[in-house]
Amino acid sequence: MQEVKVNVVSIIKPRVELVLTWGSEELIAAMTDVVYRAYSIEDAIKRVREKPELVQRRITGFLRDGHHSVLEFMGASWLVEGSRAFTHELVRHRVASYWQESQRYVDYARGQLRYVLPPGLASEWTGFLSNASQAYVKAREGLAPEDARYLLPNAMASRAWVQMNAREFFLNFMPLRTGLGAFHEIRLVAWLMFSTLVDKFPITARWVWENLPRLHPDYCRGIDKLKDLYGTNDCRIISIKDAFNKWNMEIPKGIMELISQT
């Protein structure tokens, strides 16, 4: 077997790209009148467009009073890329749809050997990843793809198309995955996903931001060890700064605006 040299290991950071959104807060507010036979669809939509304060009042009321099923009529999908360690946690959220790249059908030996590591680990373990890459490329010469993939580390970059309705994302995924006890990579990705929706579903995003610590009983776990480090008792701000510092990434503008208004 000819020896294969893998001299360059590509280290990337988690990425999130908004693919699309569906539904809207305006439509949900309008359909309240339609379902209860007060207006036609056209008249109800016209009414809420003329009275934006009605949208604010109704969406906030649904969130406050626990009428969360209506949020299933809007949502979003994203293209995310992170480590296989991260994606194994991501797909545990059952009320969502996933289309993830297959390690059987992507030939990583063709220049696709990318890994996702925080900067603090990448500087120390690049050599190990280079050896793993070389082993994988060798294995692809004689093994079936499904067997060669056993040699790929959890740091291997993996892409997934993720779709969630707003109820699942805002009221389940966000409280679970931005809490201080969450894995730092999925916490980072959750905040990146959230940042793409601040302008798309502004009433919901603002309400969830204001109420995050009470949406999960364990949200602030470990705050005593972190509050002095970050100079705040706000679990949300600690969660954000800790994750983005770990990955040496810039906090998105939309989230910075929420922090500044807190």
- DSSP label at residue 245: H
In 61-132, DSSP assigns E strands to 75-83, 97-100, 114-116
Catalytic, out of 84, 140, 177, 187: 177
- Could you tell me which of 50, 59, 49, 2 has the C-alpha nearest to residue 28? 59
Active site residue 84: no
Task: Give the H/E segment covering residue 15.
Answer: strand 15-22
Task: From residue 219, give the alpha-carbon distance in Å to each of 30, 174, 187, 199.
Answer: 34, 10, 12, 25
In 47-205, DSSP assigns E strands to 75-83, 97-100, 114-116, 157-165
Q: Please list the alpha-helical segments (H only) found in 2-82.
A: 25-35, 41-50, 52-65
- Provide the annotated active-site residues: 177
